[in-house]
């Protein structure tokens, strides 16, 4: 399986979009400096003042309640004919007997970009609540959401208008962050929260919120490479649907049993937890597909292709 088409974010924790600019410091250095130099404005911002789109995304997230704590399966699903099809998906694979290592998990997430705000000193921007006094580091899956958040902050604080920008960060770096007094929150695309809620409602759950970052997969979509099966999981339901449509065009000679529309949804945080705690053989076939990409099930064309966002 060729993943050469994927453009992985810079390994640096802060990756400026202008590659001619000097390299940015490491995440730990950035946060150490940020804790010292963040302006008083950032400590006064109330998360309730964020733009309505991010308000909607945050209001439809439940933190930190996992799906499994409600007695529902790790994967909730719906099929094209409306039938329920729930439960975790396990493919036969020659995996290890114990949980996946942190290094293995980070490697799976390295190609997925998220977007954060950086100030003129190349420090992450934190948002602090007036009442809670807790600092939040926000990372958006949609670059436009981060840009809108930056515009909102610039309108509130003229001091941010010079040098502040949106930067890309590899998702695997987020799970490495441990800074006292700072909580890190991944902000999924609002449209994908709605997609996840809809999938669960079609599966019989009366949810009005979703506990984390939704990821989507289909039992009908399996990639094969070098005698091994892989389960692609997507951060956008539309990317999965595009992959299913592509697979349906190939099914006559590749996978006659493929059922278009068989979709499951889970929380990324729940899957990461499973990777850390469960048998490696249960999760070592999972491949995270970055937003805006779809996949081919045809071995002769098997690569991860960029699709229209």
DSSP track, the chain: -B-TT--PPPSSSSB-SSTTSPPPPPHHHHHHHHHHH--HHHHH--GGGS-HHHHHHHHTB-SS--GGGGT--SSEEE-TTS----S---------SSPPPHHHHHHHHTT-EEEEEE-TTS-BPPEE-TTT--EEEEEESSHHHHHHHHHHHHHH-GGGTTT-EEEEEEHHHHTT---TTEEEEEE--HHHHHHHHHHHHHTT---SSBSS-EEEE-TT--EEETTEEEEEEESSHHHHHHHHHHHHHHTTTS-TT--TT-EEEEEHHHHHHHHHHS-HHHHTTEEEEPTTEEE---GGG-BEEE---
Output the tens digit of pLDDT for each of the chain's 309 residues. 333 333 333 222 222 333 333 333 333 333 333 333 333 323 333 334 344 444 444 444 444 333 333 333 344 433 333 333 333 333 233 345 578 888 888 888 988 999 999 888 888 888 776 666 778 889 999 999 999 999 988 888 887 888 889 999 999 888 777 777 788 889 999 999 999 999 988 888 877 888 899 999 998 888 887 778 888 999 999 999 988 888 777 766 555 445 545 889 999 988 888 888 876 567 778 899 999 988 865 555 544 445 444
Task: Tell me if 220 sits within 8 A of 260, measured CB to CB.
Answer: yes
Token output for 238: 């539309």
Domain residue ranges in the chain: 27-53+112-189, 67-109+192-306
| Residue 228: cis peptide before it, omega within 30 degrees of 0 | no
**Statement: the pTM of the whole predicted model exceeds 0.85:** no
Pairing assessment for the beta strands 228-234 and 223-225 based on DSSP bridges? antiparallel
Task: Tell me if 49 sits within 8 A of 209, measured CB to CB.
Answer: no
Give the per-residue pLDDT at 254: 52
Task: Tell me if 123 sits within 8 A of 37, measured CB to CB.
Answer: yes
Give the per-residue pLDDT at 191: 94
Task: Tell me if 219 sits within 8 A of 89, measured CB to CB.
Answer: yes
Look at residues 186, 192, 191 and name the one whose alpha carbon lies nearest to residue 172.
186
Comparing 27-53+112-189 with 67-109+192-306, is the CATH topology the same? yes
Query: Does the domain spanning 67-109+192-306 belong to CATH 3.40.50.12170?
Result: no
Span 253-286, pLDDT tens digits: 555 445 545 889 999 988 888 888 876 567 778 8
Specify burial of residue 141 (Cβ count, 10 A radius: 0-12, 13-18, 19+).
buried
Task: Tell me if 37 sits within 8 A of 28, measured CB to CB.
Answer: no
Alpha-carbon torsion (151, 174, 54, 47), positive or negative: negative
Query: Does the domain spanning 27-53+112-189 belong to CATH 3.40.1350.100?
Result: yes
């Amino acid at each position: 399986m060729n993943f050469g088409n994927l453009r992985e974010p810079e390994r640096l924790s802060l990756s400026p979009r202008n590659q001619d600019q000097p390299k940015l410091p490491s995440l730990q250095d950035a946060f150490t400096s940020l804790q010292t130099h963040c302006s008083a404005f950032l400590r006064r911002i109330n998360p309730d003042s964020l733009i309505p789109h991010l308000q909607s995304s945050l209001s439809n997230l439940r933190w930190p309640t996992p799906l499994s704590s409600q007695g529902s399966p790790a994967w909730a699903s719906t099929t094209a004919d409306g039938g329920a099809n729930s439960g975790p998906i396990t493919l036969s694979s020659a995996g290890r007997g114990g949980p996946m290592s942190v290094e293995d998990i980070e490697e799976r997430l390295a190609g997925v970009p998220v977007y954060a705000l950086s100030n003129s000193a190349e420090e992450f921007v934190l948002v602090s609540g007036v009442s809670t006094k807790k600092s939040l580091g926000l990372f958006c899956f949609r670059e436009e959401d981060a840009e809108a958040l930056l515009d909102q902050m610039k309108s509130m604080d003229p001091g941010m208008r010079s040098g502040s920008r949106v930067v890309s960060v590899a998702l695997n770096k987020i799970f490495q962050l441990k800074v006292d007094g700072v909580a890190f929150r991944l902000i999924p695309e609002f449209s994908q929260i709605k997609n996840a809620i809809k999938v669960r409602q079609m599966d019989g759950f009366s949810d009005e919120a979703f506990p984390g970052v939704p990821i989507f997969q289909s039992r009908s979509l399996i990639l094969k490479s070098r005698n091994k099966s892989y389960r692609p999981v997507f951060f956008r339901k539309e990317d999965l649907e595009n992959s299913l449509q592509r697979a349906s065009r190939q099914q006559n000679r590749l996978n006659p049993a493929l059922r278009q529309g068989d979709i499951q949804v889970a929380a990324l945080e729940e899957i990461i937890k499973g990777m850390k705690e469960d048998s490696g053989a249960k999760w070592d076939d999972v491949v995270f597909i970055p937003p805006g990409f779809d996949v081919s099930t045809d071995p002769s064309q098997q690569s991860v292709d960029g699709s229209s966002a």
